[in-house]
């Protein structure tokens, strides 16, 4: 499985980033630019995932994003798991966004 560290992700200019946590988790705070597409909805919404570009997948600690990465890769998406998830993102001091009201 392709993986990327949170520091390497933060260094990318404009990564395509999907947060597969549930909406209540996403609302607490997420990596800037992340689009919420919960793992529980991903199989039915896979057509919403951009094609033709690497897609970085993040969750809280890395388990759900690993499953999502496998699902996406199996459907022809160039998916990359974010190692350590949002927990690692926070621990490394990277900023969080919250949804705008």
Active site positions, annotated: 59
Distances (CA, A) of 59 to 10, 26, 63, 81, 101: 15, 9, 7, 9, 22
The total of other beta-carbon atoms located within 10 Å of residue 94's CB is 15
Contact between residue 4 and residue 78 where contact means Cβ atoms under 8 Å apart: no
Rounded to 10 degrees, the C-alpha dihedral 16/20/22/25 comes to -60
């Amino acid at each position: 499985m392709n993986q990327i560290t949170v520091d390497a992700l933060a260094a990318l200019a404009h990564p395509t980033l999907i947060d597969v946590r549930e909406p209540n988790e996403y609302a607490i705070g997420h990596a800037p630019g992340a689009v919420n597409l919960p793992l529980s909805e991903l199989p039915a919404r896979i057509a919403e995932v951009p094609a033709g570009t690497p897609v970085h997948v993040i969750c809280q600690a890395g388990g759900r994003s690993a499953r999502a990465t496998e699902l996406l890769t199996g459907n022809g998406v160039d998916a990359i798991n974010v190692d350590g998830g949002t927990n690692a993102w926070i621990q490394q001091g990277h900023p969080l966004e919250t949804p705008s009201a």
